[in-house]
Amino acid sequence: MSTQNDSVLWLYIGTYTRRAAHVQGKSEGIYLLHLDLEQGTLRPAGQVTGVDNPSYLALAPDGQHLYAVNEVSDFGGRSSGAVSSFAIDPETGGLTFINQQPSQGAAPCYVTVEASGRYVLAANYGGGSVVMFPIQRDGRLGVASDFVQHEGSSVNPQRQEGPHAHSINVDPNNRFALAADLGLDKLLIYRLDLEAGKLTPNPEQPWARVKAGAGPRHLAFHPNGRFVYVINELDSTMTAFAYDGERGTLKEIQTLSTLPEDFQGRSHCADVHVHPSGKFVYGSNRGHDSIVIYACDEGSGELELVGHEPTQGAIPRDFALDPTGTYLLAANQNSDNIVVFRIDTRSGRLTPTGHVAQVPTPVCIQMRWP
Q: What is the pLDDT of residue 228?
A: 99
CB 137 within 8 A of CB 121: no
**Closest among 230, 219, 341, 240 to 290, alpha carbons compared:** 341
Does this model's pTM top 0.75?
yes
CB 305 within 8 A of CB 256: yes
Give dist(CA 56, CA 361) in Å, integer: 12
Taking the CA atoms of 11, 17, 19 and 25 in sequence, report the sign of the dihedral they define.
positive
All residue ranges of the chain with pLDDT < 50 are 1-3
Q: Measuring CA to CA, how many Å separate 42 from each of 9, 25, 66?
A: 10, 22, 21
Q: What is the pLDDT of residue 4?
A: 56
- Grouping H, G, I as helix, E, B as strand and the rest as coil, residue 335 is helix
Give dist(CA 88, CA 1) in Å, integer: 10
CA torsion angle for 261, 332, 56, 287 (degrees, to 10)?
A: 30
Q: What is the pLDDT of residue 23?
A: 84
Q: Measuring CA to CA, how many Å separate 234 from each of 88, 162, 269?
A: 36, 15, 7
Give dist(CA 165, CA 343) in Å, integer: 31
Q: What is the pLDDT of residue 3?
A: 44
pLDDT in tens, 56-79: 999 999 999 999 999 999 999 999
Give dist(CA 342, CA 327) in Å, integer: 5
Q: For residue 19, count CB atoms less than 10 angstroms from its CB and return exposed for 0-12, middle for 13-18, buried for 19 or more.
A: exposed
CB 353 within 8 A of CB 344: no
DSSP string, 104-162: SSSSEEEEEE-TTSSEEEEEETTTTEEEEEEBPTTS-B-S-SEEEE-----S-TTT-SS
pLDDT in tens, 285-334: 999 999 999 999 999 999 999 999 999 999 999 999 999 999 999 999 99
The CATH number of 8-368, from 3.40.50.2300, 3.40.190.10, 3.40.50.300, 2.130.10.10, is 2.130.10.10
